[in-house]
Amino acid sequence: MIPITKITGDADLALFKETFSRSEEAFEEIDARVKEIMENVKKHGDDAVLAYTEKFDAVRLREMKVTPQEIGEALATVDPAFLTVLERAKARIATFHEQQMEKSWFIRQGDGILLGQLITPLQRVGVYVPGGKAVYPSTVLMNVIPARVAGVEEVVMTTPPDKDGKIDAHILAAAHVAGVTEIYKVGGAQAIAALTYGTETIRPVDKIVGPGNVYVARAKKWAFGKVDVDMIAGPSEIGIVADETADPVHVAADLLSQAEHDQAAVAALVTDCRSLAEKVKAELERQLIKLDRQEIAKTALETHGHIFVTDTIDRALELVNEWAPEHLELMVENPFEKLVKVKNAGAIFLGPYTPVPVGDYIAGPNHTLPTNGTARFSSPLGTYDFIKRSSVIYYDEKALKNVKNDVILLAEREGLTAHARAIRKRFET
């Protein structure tokens, strides 16, 4: 089901890289459909959104906006214990993200000069939450809470309705707890278009965040520039670096926890212990047959699952750094010692009692993470995604006079004589 490969030379190294490389898919047909949807929504607003909702979600809506009554009904419907857990998760997520907050700062650079950076939150943010068969209240918390901590005043959530024109009560409860200010029963590329261009009902936003299917992802790609977006996320990934001290039962369970997400999910173990590799392979087969999402996880393991055996744990970490996985578990004897060797990973989970699901739901750090190797240059979603930095510059007359000749010289060397004149005019007598 899942192969074991010993990394010994260049050929095996090429196989390792091939396992985690994503072929560039042909998006031409999808992009054509997405562009058509977005242009139609741009031109026809609510009418187009409602028509696409009827076409794709099989429901004819009278009203897109979720009412306070619907939210109240949802809160009355869900288990009180679920609401308690939401509040606990909210507190942990907020506490973590409060530590990320940047502050405005100012410095004096000599007499008459003040320089600084002004931090301001985005005014209006759109959060896309997948719907249909999926119910992900954790996605609501992870995308909304950092925005609210950053000071975003208007957080707009869109999510597709079911065939009865309703939103799952658990999603609405999470939205209420997290602090969403508006909720709309809209999904797919049409939701991204509505958030980008605005309609009669939905005002446009400054930035769109949140996961979705390939149509949502491509719509976000085409929306970028008109609005900002968080990332174009791919299927889930987990890499586990483990030594002989790791429990094969735990390793297998953690690999399956991400394999059940998606048939295209990537799950890989890299270890210096051949015995552990064999035990994990056998344990995967034992645990797989007990999963509710057995077929999804099985396909993921068969197509994107692998176990690699290296000579040392340090070599295993070198390989993982080339991969840059979304989730990385260090199930080794001294995980804190090895942490300094990790260069590329979305989130790092240390030790045998820190599986990915604790980070997915309640630890506090964000579970919206870079995939497809983008952890080499990008970061998890955070409060920094919901702020802007503006440079602040002040010179008084004396300070400007002291540097005027430098500015004029540089401007004239660039052929920008109006720039130079703007300085000279202030000192003409």
- Catalytically active residues are 326-327
- For 382-400, letters b (16+ CB in 10 Å) and e give bbbbbbeeeeeeebeeebe
- Beta strands 105-108; 154-158: pairing state: unpaired
* Biggest distance spanned by C-alpha atoms of the chain: 89
Treating both helix axes as pointing N-terminal to C-terminal, what angle do 80-98 and 169-178 enclose, rounded to 10 degrees?
40
- Beta strands 113-121; 327-331: pairing state: unpaired
Alpha-helix runs per DSSP H in 128-247: 137-150, 169-178, 188-197, 214-223
Retrieve residue 395's tokens: 């010179």
| Cβ neighbours for 66, distance < 8 A, ≥ 6 positions apart | 167, 172, 183, 184, 185
CB 380 within 8 A of CB 328: no
> What string of H, E and C letters represents the secondary structure of 6-62?
ECCCHHHHHHHHHHHCCCCCCCHHHHHHHHHHHHHHHHHCHHHHHHHHHHHHCCCCC
| Cβ neighbours for 334, distance < 8 A, ≥ 6 positions apart | none
In three-state secondary structure terms, 164 is: coil
| Cβ neighbours for 281, distance < 8 A, ≥ 6 positions apart | 1, 2, 4, 307
CB 356 within 8 A of CB 328: no
CB 153 within 8 A of CB 180: no
Tokens 């399956």 locate to 256
Taking the CA atoms of 380, 381, 384 and 388 in sequence, report the sign of the dihedral they define: positive
Environment class of 342 (CB within 10 Å of its CB; exposed 0-12, middle 13-18, buried 19+): middle
- CA-nearest of 364, 363, 326 to 346 is 326
Phi, psi of 25 (to 5 degrees): -70, 155
